[in-house]
């Protein structure tokens, strides 16, 4: 999952006649391995595993570093890591499969297929949940329901008044909550626990023998420990191993780069793997149908998200001249990233054992080895754009997404952003953070989080976008993949 407290990265013509990517026999992997080691060093990440798919097989698979800083046990290629929000594509695949069986219509109100949801939630559609357009908040959650019935219990306890920040269908706003409801749908429609349905309907057919949501099953196989660090300190093992059964559908699978590669291979080869048809031949087409534009608001210059759309469990876009599907995942102790290029039947999977490490440079280097990519776009101009008082006054106000509150106001002739964020839904509002806002384009702005030093090209800055309604008036702020709806003006301070 891509969350705060616990978890937390286009349409194209499907074609399988364009051939595979460059042959692995033409590739010198030493350059890629140097990038991996350097990126692990820069991010202070103890270990990682990398796999590359070309055609219908894995052509590169290697592990780096250690799985546990206390024991110095090495990472192995078959080692399990937590996958974070990469799970969303797996969850989406199973629900789409249930739709193919006629158990649910993805475009119909949920109340037509399942019971037990609050009234307003029951009027949502699965398409809205899968595409993050349901208007749901993304509450921070810490821990830790362990009972297998927790998913059903928690989803049935969701109250309409607590979970909507805007009307469904209005805007993309990333919500793990939506995928928890999808997991609930899978339980109800398959008549078995979510983890069992995922195993029977996806993992076993694909030969993903070790992939599981159950930590007590994962621990019987080679399993990396998760790590994190305070400030500039050395990484330490995260204890306890975070687990919340109620949140499993959005980011808690334990899997390996080898087994995630099997999912990618089957998707890109019309449902076939090892010569056997195991998934629907149209599954990739259905998951990659673009549902909504994603406002560009990622941390600069990491962004794989310029011009992106979201389908069902995938971000979709053109990147350096090729059409890609991708998703990142971060959960306490771990980070992961997967990119698929279906037209070339190419994929790269990386998994790492520190919170938030997605090894984006490694993914880019792997793509450069196998694909003919266009040059990287130039960095953003180093100088901000001057704002008039009228421009600032137009967007000042209070914006809300659940307990998250963002105030934009003018102070001393500058635009200031104050963000109040809860630690958890139960604990309520947490600390307030104020930062000065700089304009970089029409309705596009950056701010530098506390502790970061502004650098050339806004490296280290975080972007947000103002989204306007049909009349041209500011309606939402969009940043870090989430929207906040404007609720009231704020006075000048």
pLDDT digits (tens, 9 = 90+) for 33-55: 999 999 999 999 999 999 999 99
Query: Is this structure's pTM higher than 0.75?
Result: yes
pLDDT at 403: 84
Q: How distant, in Å, are the alpha carbons of 110, 175, 291, 323 from that of 308?
A: 27, 17, 11, 10
What residue ranges of the chain are covered by domains with CATH 3.40.710.10?
A: 1-377
How far is the C-alpha of 332 from the C-alpha of 7, rounded, in Å? 6
pLDDT band at 452 (very low <50, low <70, confident <90, very high): low
Side-chain-side CA neighbours of residue 435 (13 Å) = 20
What lies within 8 Å, CB to CB, of 142 at 6+ separation is: 5, 6, 423, 424
pLDDT at 149: 92
pLDDT at 332 over 60: yes
Whole-number average pLDDT of the chain? 89
Average pLDDT score over residue span 307-326: 93
pLDDT at 454 over 90: no
pLDDT at 17 over 70: no
What residue ranges of the chain are covered by domains with CATH 2.40.128.50?
A: 389-488
pLDDT at 405 over 80: yes
What lies within 8 Å, CB to CB, of 231 at 6+ separation is: none
Identify which has the larger pLDDT, 383 or 487: 487
Average pLDDT score over residue span 167-172: 97
How far is the C-alpha of 138 from the C-alpha of 146, rounded, in Å? 21
pLDDT at 31: 94
pLDDT band at 390 (very low <50, low <70, confident <90, very high): very high
Backbone φ and ψ for 482, nearest 5 degrees, come out as -120, 150
Average pLDDT score over residue span 400-412: 93
- 463 - beta bridge partners? 446
Identify which has the larger pLDDT, 462 or 263: 263
Which CATH superfamily is 1-377 part of?
DD-peptidase/beta-lactamase superfamily (3.40.710.10)
Go through 300-320 and write b for each residue having 16 or more CB atoms within 10 A of its CB, e for each that does not. Answer: beebbbeebbbbbbbbbbebe
Q: Could you tell me what percent of the chain has a pLDDT over 90?
A: 76
pLDDT at 70 over 80: yes
Q: Could you tell me what percent of the chain has a pLDDT over 70?
A: 86
Instruction: Write the pLDDT tens digit of every residue in 81-117.
Output: 999 999 999 999 999 999 999 999 999 999 999 999 9
Q: Give domain 389-488's CATH number out of 2.60.40.1180, 2.40.128.50, 3.20.130.10, 3.40.50.2300.
A: 2.40.128.50
How far is the C-alpha of 416 from the C-alpha of 79, rounded, in Å? 46
pLDDT band at 404 (very low <50, low <70, confident <90, very high): confident
Tell which residue, 345, 281, 258, has the closest CA to residue 54. 345
pLDDT at 299: 47
């Amino acid at each position: 999952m891509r969350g705060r407290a616990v978890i937390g990265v286009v349409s194209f013509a499907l074609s399988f006649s364009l051939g595979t990517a460059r042959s692995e026999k033409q590739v010198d992997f030493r350059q890629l391995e140097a990038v991996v080691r350097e990126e692990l060093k820069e991010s202070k990440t103890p270990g990682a595993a990398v796999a590359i798919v070309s055609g219908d097989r894995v052509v590169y698979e290697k592990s780096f570093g250690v799985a546990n800083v206390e024991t110095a046990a090495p990472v192995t290629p078959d080692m399990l890591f937590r996958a974070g929000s990469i799970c969303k594509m797996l969850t989406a695949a199973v629900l789409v499969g249930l739709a193919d069986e006629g158990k649910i219509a993805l475009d119909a109100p949920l109340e037509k297929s399942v019971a037990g949801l609050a009234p307003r939630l029951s009027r949502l559609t699965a398409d809205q949940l899968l595409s993050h357009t349901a208007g749901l908040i993304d509450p921070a959650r810490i821990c830790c329901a362990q009972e297998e019935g927790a998913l059903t219990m928690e989803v049935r306890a969701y109250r309409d008044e607590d979970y909507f920040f805007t009307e469904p269908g209005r805007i993309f706003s990333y919500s793990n909550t939506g995928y928890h409801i999808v997991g609930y749908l899978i339980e109800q429609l398959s008549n078995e626990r979510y983890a069992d349905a995922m195993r029977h309907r996806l993992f076993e057919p694909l030969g993903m023998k070790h992939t599981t949501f159950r930590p007590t099953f994962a621990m019987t196989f080679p399993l990396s420990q998760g790590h994190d660090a305070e400030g500039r300190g050395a990484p330490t093992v995260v204890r306890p191993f975070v687990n919340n059964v109620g949140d499993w559908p959005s980011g808690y699978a334990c899997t390996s780069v080898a087994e995630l590669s099997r999912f990618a291979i089957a998707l890109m080869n019309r449902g076939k793997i090892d010569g056997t048809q195991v998934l629907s031949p149209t599954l990739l087409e259905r998951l990659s149908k673009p549902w909504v534009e994603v406002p560009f608001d990622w941390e600069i210059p990491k962004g794989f998200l310029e011009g992106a759309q979201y389908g069902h469990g995938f971000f979709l876009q053109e990147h350096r001249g090729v059409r890609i599907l991708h998703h990142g995942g971060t959960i306490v102790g771990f980070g992961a990233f997967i990119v698929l290029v279906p037209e070339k039947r190419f994929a790269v999977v990386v998994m790492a054992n520190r919170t938030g490490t997605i090894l984006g440079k490694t993914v880019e280097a792997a793509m450069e080895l196998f694909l003919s990519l266009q040059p990287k776009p130039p960095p953003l101009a180093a100088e901000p754009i001057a704002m008039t008082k009228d421009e600032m006054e137009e967007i000042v106000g209070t914006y809300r997404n659940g307990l998250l509150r963002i105030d934009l106001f003018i102070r001393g002739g500058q635009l200031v952003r104050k963000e109040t964020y809860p630690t958890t839904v139960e604990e309520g509002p947490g600390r307030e953070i104020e930062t000065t806002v700089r304009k970089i384009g029409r309705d596009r702005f950056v701010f530098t989080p506390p502790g970061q030093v502004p650098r050339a090209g806004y490296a280290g800055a975080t972007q947000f976008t103002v989204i306007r309604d049909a009349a041209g008036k500011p309606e939402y702020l969009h940043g870090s993949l989430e929207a906040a709806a404007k609720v009231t003006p704020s006075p000048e301070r």
